[in-house]
Structure 1
Amino acid sequence: MKNIILELLLLSTCLFSFPVFGQQKDTTQIEETKIYTMVENLPIFGGGTNNFYKIFSKNLRIAEEPNGIGSRVFIEFVIDTTGKMTDFKILKSNFSKKNNEGFLKTLDFINENYNWKSAVHKGEKVFFRMNLPIIIRLSE
């Protein structure tokens, strides 16, 4: 039986956030709530980043094997001021629709059972848009 190894890619300084190049503003206006992509203090998952990855990989269930070596999915969500995740989206994926649903269900499970420490900008808790690149590799 094959085990799924989950590797999460990190950018050295931004951790999860990948701001758009050439972006003039650091916020997006959605329904009168500013959602930041750049802040003074990034959100932190309870127990740290490695704990998030551990929980994510432990709870991930995918319906079909990935397409090839190192299949990828890019997930986006917003961390609100209470530390909860909202607005889950698959930005890009070479997985089937069923597998993409598995990624979103895993995020939903984490959201129901765990919290983030909210992002802080100019001394206030703010909404923060996260992008997570994930690579799935199969091993014997």
Structure 2
Amino acid sequence: MKRIILFLIVLFAQQIVLAQAPMSVVNKTAAIPFETVENQPIFPGGNNEFIKFIGKNFRVPDVEDFSGGVLKVSFVIEVNGSIADVKIINDLGHGTADEIKRVLSLCPKWTPGDQNGKPARVLFTLPVTIRN
């Protein structure tokens, strides 16, 4: 009976140990992005310039039945100031998702945010109001 219990314990422990991801697979450098940091990333020229940049470069779809709305997109400002991980939260259709991705890919590098004196990845959510 003791051997059966010992066997079951070893078998159970083996399942736990083998279920772990090897350390070589875990990405140690990609930190989870912050939503709030001590010093937020800054677009060259500030928030007003960022809004102007989006307005200047975003092309509204030339479709008859497009009435506009609020397109929501999230993205990460990396520690080097580049934009990554662009995700569409609310797509209005008619190519608006591809268009905002294109515009964000044109963005110049931002001044990165920092937390505790170290550069940090920062998650942004941007609502873009589109009127036709």
TM-score by length of 1: 0.67
Question: Which fold has the larger relative contact order, with Cα–Cα distance below 8 Å and residues 6 or more apart in sequence?
Answer: 1
- Aligned identity (percent) is 28
1:136 aligns with 2:130: yes
Greater per-residue helix proportion? 2
Tell me which of 106, 116, 123 is aligned to 1:122. Answer: 116
Q: Which has the higher strand share?
A: 1
1:42-63 Cα offsets, whole Å, 9 max, x none, are: 1111111111111111011133
1:98 paired with 2:98, answer: no
Number of residues of Structure 1 aligned to a counterpart in Structure 2: 104
Q: 5 Å matches for 1:17-36?
A: 31-32=27-28, 33-34=30-31, 35-36=33-34
Q: Unmatched 5+ residue regions in structure 1?
A: 1-29
Shift of 1:136: 1.2
Aligned position for 2:21: none
1:77 corresponding residue in structure 2? 75
Query: Are the equivalent residues in 2 in contact too, given 1:76–1:89 (CA < 8 A)?
Result: yes
Per-residue CA deviations over 1:80-130 (Å, capped at 9, x if unaligned) read: 11111001111112x1151211111111112xxx11110110010011111
TM score, norm. by length of structure 2: 0.71
Q: Kindly report structure 1 stretches of 4+ aligned residues shifted beyond 3 Å.
A: 64-68
| Greater gyration radius | 2
